[in-house]
Structure formats: structure tokens, C-alpha cells
Amino acid sequence: MLASRLLKRAPLKGARTLSSLSTNTSTVSPTLLAQSRRRVDEANSKASDQVGDALARRWLSAAGAAGSDTDRETIVRLLYSLASRREVSRYLQIFSSATHFAVLKVGGAILTHELESLTLSLNFLHRVGLYPVVVHGMGDKLNARLEADGIVPDYIDGIRITDARTLSHARRVFLSENLKLVSALEALGTRARPITTGVFTAEYLDQPRYGFVGRVTEVDKEPIEASIRAGALPILTSLAETREGQILNVNADVATAELAKVLEPLKIVYLSEKGGLYHGVTKEKLSLINLDEEYDALMKESWVKYGTKLKLREIKELLDHLPRSSSVAIISPDNLQKELFTDSGAGTLLRRGYKLYKHGSIEAVGQDRLRKVLAERDDEVTSKRKSVAEVLSNLEKTQFTIYGDEPFDCVAVVTHPDGETPVMTKFLPSSNGVLNAVTDNVFDAIKKDYKKLFWTAKADDENKAWHFERADGSFTRNGNSLFYYGVQDAGEVEKVVKEFEKSGRVERAFLPISYTSSKGTVPSSGTIASSFTRSFSTSTRPSLSSKAASTTTPRSTRSFSTTPSVFASSPAKRVALIGARGYTGSNLVNLFNSHPSIDLTHVSSRELAGQRLEGYDKANVTYQNLGIEDIKKLEASGEVDAWVMALPNGVCQPFVEAIDGVKGGKSVIVDLSADYRFDDKWTYGLPELYSREALRTSKRVSNPGCFSTNTQLLLAPLLPYLSASPSVFAISGYSGAGTKSGKEPKVTPESLGGAVRPYSLTDHIHEREAGYHLSSRLDHRATIAKEDFNVAFMPNVAPWFQGIISTVSAPLNKELRASEVVELFEQMYEKEKLVKVVKGIPEIKDISGKHGVRLGGFQVHSSGKRVVAVGVLDNLLKGAATQCLQNLNIALGLDEYAGIDLDF
């Protein structure tokens, strides 16, 4: 298991190593070499697994017996033996932030034959702070007990007939098996709570026909969530009760499905001895099933029948009830960590996914969408070696096919001129595409169309293990890797590479240097065989050396520049600003004026109509008084790529409805008012905390409020540790009160008399906004229920012009040190370019006129149970205009920070 993966870093003593096979590769055929390596890999793997499993058992058992609270970081480091640090961290973050991480269905056979593997896996998850909900069955234990009592088990349509005597035995077996699993977990130091009844309410399925068999009608999740709040794994039987209190037997698979429909977990895991679903003809394990794409065809296969067909139908029905983010995994207990924390997985993953497409023209795919993907993900474009226009122009000079899925989570391009070897020139997945294995679906679609294929990737590609796993051979030189499948003869590889050298279809940097001498000669096939030092990989993770290299590669940084960026090769995006007369509108005009890829083409203000727009030098723009009909015409003509609504609360709706009512309209709307911040059909635009992926595909974005932005950024890292609702005391400069007549402030320093004025001390709109959105991030670690969560907010206005300072006081459910609080903030915002975590107390002077947020002043009460933190931001910039530009950049497919000065 996990420790065994650590041992794979070096072969066991006495084993034949790979280097011993490679001393004279020039005389060994690639096929024989690959077979030999595979045998050695398998031998090393098997031997190290045996020793490793023993070490893992001893390590976890000793930790549990000693009652030690094993350092979570140490366990996480063990996970790094399964996959890269990036993979493990990504899954831990996703699972930890989910309201419910996973529901596990455990068959009775697992409890009988693989109890140790199961409990070690559950113990491991518990120690990293994850709480799967476990539902177990009875397996053959019930039949053995019935036969011992002289009762012959009987079934109708696969459903066990349960009379009174059978039910009595079933109840005893359930309680016995439940106690066995709970006891085994507690022996390892894992808290577990037996929940044998009280979750499932049922009615008789068909009493005359099946007896005491139930159909689940209600699920009470409170006992489960109470267990998790108490830090214990909930261990459930599938026994149900009628409203009158009669116990009924429910199939464990059925109970698991009904429970999942209520909890909506990210993962539904069926643990089985087989460890997955297998192809009925080839007998190979099915790694991934994309139901939207494959279900109908799969159900028509001759080998899909009986139990397999029933299982697929039940899983399809279950996933149709759940969010697309949910998936089902069928896996053995000892491979549970690998399935959960690696991209490659170990069992069979079933997900709804999306239907795939393939097109032979850019127009069929959608040029704008393709341009956006290239601009965001293509290394040639992001490194500025080529523009998007150059990539598309080169593509149209040859025959090609574009593959992908409907939401563009993975896009691939294969060029295939007549009579030449196909080359996958682009493979561009999003992080979501990697996470949900869309990459596998797209690659499998390509593999169906081409018996052989070549492609390239950088050696430091974070998904390089994925490439190695799908290649029959590869060559790496100077950080560039060439992969291929479907070619087994070294002579043919030599011939293909020579073709690439002549045609230029593959960059020279990716070709073996021995193939391309200065005279254009090609070495003998023996030299070629020795060039390919890795013809086959049985490992789904990168080698230790490559992993280390990837973690030490310097991260590219993006700084502010007024010079045109890579996106300037595309036509500038045209933006219309509605309500441009106030402080926020003025700041937006300044930002657009220096933006390399956005042109402000229309500004609307009733009071200023006919006047020239000051502060905008790119073009001569005049204020207009745009009415509903004017907006409809502009939208219908396609003259505007995005609308920014800088209007007071309650005014925006008619304008939005006008744009929505235009058939074929494609523009983006960013609304700065509060009108749509609680509308789930709109994307809430706080990129540092909520989904950037959603923003990339969204056409309707609600911009957060200034106080709310500061509050949420201050509280987000503390959410798992809250014991009750927090309080926030905040002070804003008087510009936050807005203007009258275009330029005059509603509140003046003179009217404040140099003092601070409290206002709207209850039910402030930003109070409700912060509580509403933060509650979606609460998970089981917080001891406050989502429905009880709110923010006690006390706003004030001060005699300085711009800038907000907020002080949070948050009660904790566990003792924390100030250094631990700082670490929480640093971890959450490590990669955020507009958030800085500072040691001291941030001040208004540090942030006024700047685009970012500073968080600091972390102090913990002597009890360790209350933390105080301070945040500052400019209410007109990151609290409004800068955040609007962030959202606009993302939604328009531009660099998120284009036009934003990152120096603050």
C-alpha cells in the first residue's frame, strides 16, 4: 500500500535492476527490451508491495495503539509516494472543502476477507481529516447463519425474501458486523460511531411478495452529521424502519444510493474484492466510463448482461440525480488511496461527463471558444512564442481534426495529411479536465481513430505521468519529450522521425539528436534502439527524480505591463459602461485606458450625455444616454463584447432583461450592484475564493461588494475552525457612500466632524452577502451548522477618502496559536497575486490607491479559542473596479491580471 510505494523508489536488494538490462541496448530489440523491463518492474513491484504493506500495517497499528495523534503532514507526505505533490494537494483541498466527501458501500465479503485493508484505508482518511460515510452489508454471513438454523435462503428477482425469522438473523448479523468494523477502527485509534438505525425510513416494498423488505422513503442525515461533528466516522447498516417502528431489510446498494442522493457527496465508492468492472471479452479492467458518451453503446454490448447491466443502470440512475461533480468508483480497499488521490486512479471510475465531439474545421468547433482555450492553455501562446492567430493560421494549412468535450475541459488537435503519420499537435486540458479524467475520454476517442500516433510534451509537464502511461515508447532530451503508440519496430520509428525532420511537423527540439545530424544523415537502427532509453512504463506516477525536478522548477511570475500582451494579437474586446459618472465608473475608465486588450466603446450617463469622457485617451468617446432599445440594438448588432453595469441597487434589471431578450446575444455582463449577488443563475465573481472555471464560461457575473470582499477574504481560512458566528467591525472612507450629481460626495469629511460614524448596524446588505456565500464553504470541521451561520457586521464611515479596514473576531472550536493562524492564511493565499499576508497590522495608507488586499494583525486570545485578524483594501479598486476587471478579463478569455498593477 502506501509505504510500499515509498519502497519503489529503489529496487530491493538482489533484484535485477533496469540498468543491468541496459548495458548493451544497441543489440536488443525495443520490444524485447520493453518486455524485460516490464517483468523486472512487476517483480520489484510485487516484492516491495509485500514488504511495504507490512510496514504500513505496523506503522499505522503502532500509531493507533499508542494513542498518538499522528502528524497530518507526515501522512500527507506518504501520499506523495502515490502521486505528485500537486495532485495530492489538489485532491485534499477539494475533498476537505466538500460538505460531504464520500459515501462508501462495503460489501459483507470485504468485512470477512479484507477487514484489515479496509480499516487501514479508513484510518488513513480519518488521519488526514476526511470523514467518509460508511454503509456496510452482510454478505454470506447471513446465509451461513440461516442455514445453521435450518432456513433455506430464497430470492425473487434477486431480492431476498425476508420473513420474521430471517429478519431476526439479519438484525443480529448487521449488529455483529457493525461492531466488528467499529472495534477494528478504534483499535487503530480512529474514532468511529455505530449507527445501526435511525437514518433510513422505509415502507414495505411488497409485503406479500418479499416480506420485511423496505423501500427507502426518507433519509435523516442528522445522526451522520452529528457523528462527523464529534470527529467520528459514521458506520451505518442498511436496516430501515417504518414510521410505526417496524424494522425492514434494505439492500445495501440501494441504501447507499438513497443516502448519496441526500448527501450529494463528491464520491460514491463501492468497495469490492474484484476492484472494478471488467470487459467481458478482453477481461481488462475498465478504468473510466463516461456515461453521457458511452452508456447507450455499452448497454448494447453482448457481454453487458445480468448483474453488470443492472449495476450500470443503477449507477446511471444515481448519477443522474446528482451534480456533475459527483462520480462513482468501484475499487478494492487496498487501492482506495490511489483511486482518491491520483489522476490515474486504480479502479473503475464512472461519471456523467459530457458528450465528446470531433470536427474537421475551426468554425464547427467555434473560433472564439478555441481562441480562448489556446490563449489560456497553449504553451506556445502563453510563452509568447506564437500568437493565437499564428497557431490557427498554421493549423489551416493542413488536414486536421479537433477533439474535445462540450464544456471544453479538454481540447486536442490531430494533424493527419494524406499518407503521413498522424501527430497530436495540441493537447490542452483544464484542471477540471484532468481532475475528472476528461483527458482519458478524449485520448481514447483519438486512439479509436488512429492506430498509431506521435505527440510531444515538456518533461516538466505536471501531467507527464499521464503521457508516459499512454505511450508505447518515448524519448526525452533537454526537457522535451516525444511520445508514440502503435509503432513497435525501431526502423519504423526512425523512418517517421526522418519524415518529421523534413516536414517540420514536429519541432526539431523534440526529435532525437542522433536522428538529425548536420548532414541530414540517419544512424543505424541499432543506435536508434539505444536512443530510446524508456520504451515502456508500468508506473502511473513520475519518477522520483522527475518529481523533484518539477517541484524545483521556478514558477513563472506575471507582472503589470502597459505593453500589449499575447492577447493583443486578437482584436481588442469592446466594453460598454452603463452608469459611468461615479467614483467606481471613473476608476474603471482609468483601468480600461491602460488595458492592452480592452477598448471602452460606449459610456452611458443620463446627467453627462453629450460630454466628452475625461481620462480616456485611446479614442474620442462621448457620454450617451443609452435606453433599453439602444441597448437591444447594440447587443443584436454584436458591437459590444461585454457590458459593465455600474448602477445603484435595484436599477439594473431592465437593462439585463433587454440584453437577455436579444436572440443570439453573446456578450458578457458584469453587474456591480447587489441585484444578482444572491442569484444562483449568475456567477459570483470573487476569484480568490470561488470558481475561476465557472467565471471562464460565464456570461453573467455579479461583482461582490467592497465590505463583503474584505470580510470573506478574512474569514475564509478560519471557516473550518469556527465554533459560532464571527463579528466584523469595519470602517470605510467616505467615497464608499457614493456621489451625488456625478462628482460631489454624499458624505463629506466636514459632515463627519473628523470622527467615525456608525451606520446600518444590522441587516447591512454586505452582512447578508458575506454570510450567504461563506456558508457554502463550511464543511464538517466547523461546529456551526450552515443554516446557523451568519456574520455580525458593524460598518462605519470615516473622514478619509478611500480604503477599508476590517477587524474580525472569530470564536474557535479548537485551540490555535497565532503562528498556526498565519500558516492557514499563507497556505490559502500563497498563489493569489492580489492578496498579501503580512505579519504586522495592515493600515489604510498601505492600500489606498492599490489594487490588492493586505491581511494581517493575527492575534489569538489567551484561551486559544478566539482569533482576531485585520484586512485592508481599497473600496474603489479591489472592492469594486479592480475586481470587476478581474472578472471581465477571465470571462472574456484574457489574462486575469491584464491591466492591473500587481505592485502593492
Phi, psi of 107 (to 5 degrees): -70, 155
Q: Provide the pLDDT confidence category of residue 649 given band limits of 50, 70 and 90.
A: confident
Q: What is the pLDDT of residues 619-646, one digit of tens each?
A: 889 999 999 999 999 999 999 999 999 9
Average pLDDT over residues 321-335: 88
Task: Tell me if residue 291 falls in helix, strand or coil.
Answer: helix
Q: Which of 238-247, 279-288, 644-653, 691-700 is the most confident on average?
A: 238-247
Q: Which of 143-147, 310-314, 595-599 is the most confident on average?
A: 595-599
Residue 368 identity: D
Q: Is the pLDDT of residue 570 over 70?
A: no
pLDDT (0 to 100) of residue 83? 67
pLDDT (0 to 100) of residue 664? 82
Comparing C-alpha atoms, which of 234, 153, 229, 166 is closest to residue 200?
234
Q: What is the pLDDT of residues 470-489, one digit of tens each?
A: 899 888 877 788 999 998 88
Residue, of 45 and 95, whose pLDDT is higher: 95
pLDDT (0 to 100) of residue 507? 86
Please tell me the distance from the alpha carbon of residue 467 to that of residue 449, in angstroms, as a whole number: 18
Q: Of all helices (H) and strands (E), which one includes residue 855?
A: strand 853-860
Q: Is the pLDDT of residue 593 over 60?
A: yes
Which range (1-10, 158-167, 436-445, 825-834) has the least confidence? 1-10
Torsion of the alpha carbons at 847, 849, 850 and 855, rounded to the nearest 10: 20
Cell 460614524 maps to which residue? 757
Q: Which three cell numbers stand for residue 768?
A: 447578508
Q: Is 502 exposed, middle or buried (0-12, 13-18, 19+ CB in 10 A)?
A: exposed
Which range (391-395, 413-417, 529-533) has the least confidence? 529-533
**What amino acid positions are annotated as catalytic residues?**
706
Q: Are 605 and 647 in contact (CB under 8 A)?
A: no
**Count of all residues that appear for the chain in the document:** 904
Q: Provide the pLDDT confidence category of residue 463 given band limits of 50, 70 and 90.
A: confident
Q: Is the pLDDT of residue 144 over 60?
A: yes
Q: Is 66 exposed, middle or buried (0-12, 13-18, 19+ CB in 10 A)?
A: exposed
Average pLDDT over residues 581-585: 83
Whole-number CA gyration radius for the chain: 31
pLDDT (0 to 100) of residue 14? 31
Q: Is the pLDDT of residue 559 over 60?
A: no
Q: Are 764 and 795 in contact (CB under 8 A)?
A: yes
* Average pLDDT of the chain, as a whole number: 82
Q: Is the pLDDT of residue 516 over 50?
A: no
Q: What is the pLDDT of residues 705-750, one digit of tens each?
A: 999 999 999 999 999 999 999 999 999 999 887 776 556 788 888 8
CA 361 to the chain's CA centroid? 30
Torsion sign (Cα): 896, 899, 900, 902? positive
Which range (392-396, 465-469, 805-809) has the least confidence? 465-469
Other CB atoms within 10 A of residue 333 CB? 25
Average pLDDT over residues 412-416: 96
DSSP state of 722: B
Q: Which residues make Cβ contacts (< 8 Å) with residue 630, sequence separation at least 6?
A: 624
Q: Of all helices (H) and strands (E), which one includes residue 42?
A: helix 30-65
Q: What is the pLDDT of residues 754-798, one digit of tens each?
A: 899 998 888 888 899 999 999 999 887 878 888 889 999 999 999
Which range (178-187, 375-384, 537-546, 822-831) has the least confidence? 537-546
Please tell me the distance from the alpha carbon of residue 7 to that of residue 50, in angstroms, as a whole number: 10
Residue, of 381 and 55, whose pLDDT is higher: 381
Q: Of all helices (H) and strands (E), which one includes residue 470?
A: helix 464-470
Question: How far is the CA of 411 from the CAs of 357, 370, 400, 403, 707, in angstroms?
Answer: 10, 8, 13, 6, 39
Q: Provide the pLDDT confidence category of residue 13 given band limits of 50, 70 and 90.
A: very low
Q: Which three cell numbers stand for residue 856?
A: 494581517
Please tell me the distance from the alpha carbon of residue 408 to that of residue 893, in angstroms, as a whole number: 13
Q: Which of 12-26, 337-351, 809-823 is the most confident on average?
A: 809-823
Question: How far is the CA of 349 from the CAs of 164, 259, 330, 398, 808, in angstroms?
Answer: 39, 19, 7, 37, 43
Q: What is the pLDDT of residues 206-235, one digit of tens each?
A: 999 999 999 999 999 999 999 999 999 999
Write b or e for each residue in 284-322: b if 16 or more Cβ atoms lie within 10 A of its Cβ, otherwise e.
Answer: eebbbbbbbbbbeebeeeeebeeebeebbeebbebbeeb
**For the chain, give me the number of helices (H) and strands (E)?**
35, 37
Task: Tell me if residue 836 falls in helix, strand or coil.
Answer: strand
Q: Which three cell numbers stand for residue 752?
A: 463627519
Residue, of 109 and 882, whose pLDDT is higher: 882
Q: What is the pLDDT of residues 430-456, one digit of tens each?
A: 877 876 778 888 998 999 999 999 999
pLDDT (0 to 100) of residue 72? 62
Average pLDDT over residues 665-689: 93
Residue, of 194 and 78, whose pLDDT is higher: 194
Q: Which of 351-365, 501-515, 643-657 is the most confident on average?
A: 643-657
Q: Which residues make Cβ contacts (< 8 Å) with residue 168, sequence separation at least 6?
A: none
Q: Are 239 and 169 in contact (CB under 8 A)?
A: no
Please tell me the distance from the alpha carbon of residue 624 to that of residue 610, in angstroms, as a whole number: 6
pTM of the predicted model, to two decimals? 0.46
Q: Which of 144-153, 540-549, 658-667 is the most confident on average?
A: 658-667
- Domains, the chain: 94-351 (3.40.1160.10), 356-508 (3.40.630.30), 573-697 (3.40.50.720), 706-878 (3.30.360.10)
pLDDT (0 to 100) of residue 513? 56
Please tell me the distance from the alpha carbon of residue 480 to that of residue 460, in angstroms, as a whole number: 8
Q: Is the pLDDT of residue 541 over 70?
A: no
pLDDT (0 to 100) of residue 1? 39
Average pLDDT over residues 535-562: 31
Please tell me the distance from the alpha carbon of residue 550 to that of residue 481, in angstroms, as a whole number: 14
pLDDT (0 to 100) of residue 80? 67
Side by side, the strands of the sheet bearing 683-684 are 623-624, 598-604, 573-578, 642-645, 668-671, 700-702, 683-684
CA 514 to the chain's CA centroid? 41
Q: Is 559 exposed, middle or buried (0-12, 13-18, 19+ CB in 10 A)?
A: exposed
Residue, of 741 and 92, whose pLDDT is higher: 92
